[in-house]
């Protein structure tokens, strides 16, 4: 097995509950035990993981990728991977289909029409042949809708954050991110090779401290609403867009002078969410 848990009631190598009964394998470990693997073999963690997984999945400890039975509407039917039964009419808080656009009849019709014309995707990299006329039409329409010069399309929120951060920042620059920033922002930081620092969640004074005495190119990574805990960005005033970060210091009223410029920002889940 991977790294041993040290916080359980480990007696003689087994983990027991309070009454001394041995816990099922699925409960003795979690994903963190497999992070570093076991030994020098890059594939060495697969067997112990598999052993745990065989127990964890049917026991219902795997909570990801629950199979929905239809479109991501406000209520959904989902197959419970433990019991195999479909649980009906559950309230769906996990989707970002905020406006229900994905299943509107006109959207479905447009998708069907596009499939007839293009088949299933461009089958190429966008920098070479993988760009269809319909992508350019979408980018132009989005730019018009947002009142912007142009729009760059990415297939997921993850790829936006990784692409934009690594595209803007270089080794020697400074990125300061809220400690609860989405994993995609963190991956973008790593890929950019800039100096990366974190400030304590929503603590503007800590952010100020981390930015001090740095004269080079800086980027601050915050979220309007944090997907990690559902909180809004610290002391924000949403003025139809980027939250103005306000100083944590009650004597200093007004916005923090961070040059957080609306036209120089990007936001995930903004359109159609708040």
| Residue with Cβ nearer ligand PLP (94 or 110) | 94
Helix (H) or strand (E) holding 205: helix 204-211
Q: Does 178 bind ligand PLP (CB under 6 A)?
A: no
| Residue with Cβ nearer ligand PLP (29 or 267) | 267
Region binding ligand PLP by CB under 6 A among candidate stretches 32-40, 51-59, 134-142, 151-159 = 151-159
Provide the minimum distance between the beta carbon of 270 and ligand PLP in the complex, in angstroms, as a whole number.
Answer: 10
Phi, psi of 178 (to 5 degrees): -60, 145
Helix (H) or strand (E) holding 76: strand 75-79
Nearest to 147 by CA among 243, 269, 271, 239: 271
Nearest to 188 by CA among 169, 166, 170: 166
Provide the minimum distance between the beta carbon of 138 and ligand PLP in the complex, in angstroms, as a whole number.
Answer: 16
Contacts 24+ apart (CB under 8 A), 116-125: none
Pick from 78, 182, 186, 206: which binds ligand PLP (CB under 6 A)? 182
- Rounded to whole angstroms, the maximal C-alpha distance in the chain is 67
Pick from 178, 206, 208, 223: which binds ligand PLP (CB under 6 A)? 223
Q: Does 180 bind ligand PLP (CB under 6 A)?
A: no
Q: Does 156 bind ligand PLP (CB under 6 A)?
A: yes
| Residue with Cβ nearer ligand PLP (45 or 245) | 245
Q: Which two three-digit tokens encode residue 42? A: 């890059």
Number of residues that bind ligand PLP (CB under 6 A): 10
Pick from 28, 33, 184, 196: which binds ligand PLP (CB under 6 A)? 184
CA distance 109 to 101: 12
Pairing of strands 14-15, 195-199: unpaired
- Which positions touch ligand PLP (CB under 6 A)? 156-158, 161, 182, 184, 223, 227, 268-269
């Amino acid at each position: 097995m991977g790294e041993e848990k040290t916080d359980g009631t480990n007696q003689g190598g087994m983990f027991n509950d309070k009454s001394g009964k041995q816990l099922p394998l699925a409960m003795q470990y979690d994903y963190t035990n497999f992070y570093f693997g076991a030994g020098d073999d890059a594939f060495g963690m697969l067997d112990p993981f598999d052993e745990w997984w065989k127990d964890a999945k049917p026991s219902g400890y795997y909570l990801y990728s629950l199979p929905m039975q239809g479109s991501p509407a406000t209520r959904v039917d989902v197959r419970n991977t433990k019991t195999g039964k479909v649980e009906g009419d559950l309230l769906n808080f996990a989707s970002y289909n905020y406006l229900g656009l994905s299943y509107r009849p006109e959207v479905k019709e447009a998708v069907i029409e596009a499939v007839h014309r293009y088949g299933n995707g461009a089958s190429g990299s966008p920098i070479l042949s993988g760009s269809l006329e319909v992508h350019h039409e979408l980018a132009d329409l989005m730019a018009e809708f947002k009142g912007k010069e142009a729009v760059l399309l990415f297939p997921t929120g993850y790829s936006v954050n990784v692409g934009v951060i690594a595209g803007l920042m270089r080794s020697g620059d400074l990125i300061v991110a809220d400690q609860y920033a989405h994993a995609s922002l963190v991956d973008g930081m790593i890929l950019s090779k800039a100096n990366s620092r974190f400030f304590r969640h929503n603590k503007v004074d800590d952010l100020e401290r981390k930015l001090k005495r740095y004269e080079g190119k800086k980027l601050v990574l915050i979220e309007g609403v944090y997907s990690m805990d559902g909180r809004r960005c610290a002391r924000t005033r949403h003025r139809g867009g980027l939250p103005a970060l306000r100083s944590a210091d009650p004597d200093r009223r007004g916005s923090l002078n961070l040059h957080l410029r609306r036209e120089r920002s990007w936001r995930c889940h903004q359109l159609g969410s708040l």
